[in-house]
Structure 1
Amino acid sequence: MKASTRQQRLLLDLQDLDNTLARLRRKRATLPERGDLDALSGDTAAARDRFMQAQRELDTRRTELARIEADVATVQQRRDRDTQMLSVSTSSKEAQSLQGELDTLSRRQSELEDRELELMEVVEGVQATFSEAESHLAGIDARRAEIQARLDDAERRLDAELASNTEERAGLAAELQRDLLDLYEELRGRIGLGAARLRGNVSEGSNMALAPAELSDIRATAPDEIVFCPGSGAILVRDFED
């Protein structure tokens, strides 16, 4: 295949752009923020489980306390009723019965109030545990949001660079003759490299010095004839004299 020296030089520019695009894509895929988010995921799951467990415990204790408080209120209402009835009772038998019930209610209320105080202390402790778990989870969430914001910003900047270089590549590719571009793309897809520069006696495709016989053959080839790197197989662009 033949191509002008200018066309061959354009291949090097195209390869440089492809190298830049590959580097940008690797950088985007390996942004450190991604690792930070992955590392944080385990902490997030543990903190969320702890928070949910504390919340369930708090709900259970609050429900239990509310039930006791309702029982205390019910007993107090019955005591108030019996006290009022006792105050207007004219029957000694009825008064004796009401007094006995009042004594029972008083003991029951005392037991309930003791339990109520115990539960209030338990709820207070569980509330502290819940608040600490809630604060810990909020801190992790804030950390994750901060990392995500940095990741989004880094991605936006890299995406802008990718778009700019992709646009430049499209313009450059349009300047290349079709068969030369097809050859370049075929080689790049197959061996990962489409074109490389011959600098002195070293091919940048293989980063190795060419054997004297190989170098002699390449130097003897017409400037517009496409030659290939013996080591890598990429198109080898020579140092042409303008």
Structure 2
Amino acid sequence: MAKARDTRNNDAPNGPRHVAIIMDGNGRWAQARGRPRLFGHHAGARRVREIVTACPDLGVKYLTIFAFSTENWKRTQTEVAGLMSLFRRYIMKEMQEFVKENVRVRFIGDRPRLDAKLRALMDEAEAMTSHCTGTNLTIALNYGGRDEVSRATKRLAADVASGRLKPDDVDEETLPKYLDTYVLPDPDLVIRTSGEARISNFLLWQSAYAEYEFIDTLWPDFTKDVFTELLKGYGARDRRFGAVTA
């Protein structure tokens, strides 16, 4: 079978082409101001627009953001309901602007658990922006890295069982074709805000060669200037992918 393309983006030495962000700290940001956690989530949603708009000038072609994880269902019913309402309003409010700004929107994650109205809005947003050729914004919604690999493996196993794929053809180049992110390059840089130093089940397979930045800034305070400095730091890194520099 044909060898899959190398998605490690080592042809972009001066900056990351694909940045993934774990947007953490909305609740703490709100509580520090004596406000409910949902107030912080709304502030965080507004911050997304600034970062997406900044991407073209900063050379970032792909931006993937972690909006809601498969583990976030464990939060209070009030917070989960508020987040789902926020997602619906965000999509309805922002999609026309993203079309004007030439932003292509995709969603990754396990959709069936989401309500029908939200799924319909997600489908509409993807269709409305499918012609856009600027920044590629991917929103991880009801997403978990282990869940994604599990779903991908089931689809791969079904193809093997049906004879569409030979067992001997299954290797590390095969599985990515079954992942939610199969049309995207792997992330070069993963950023987590709020001072937590863990990846929280985000893009486990795709981030094998990514650089990481764990910063103390809470997501609602994550400005274009903060983003720019992190990208500059990435440009100074020596990315060898297991090789030795001569």
TM-score normalised over the length of structure 1: 0.22
Higher relative helix content: 1
Higher relative strand content: 2
Greater Rg over alpha carbons, structure: 1
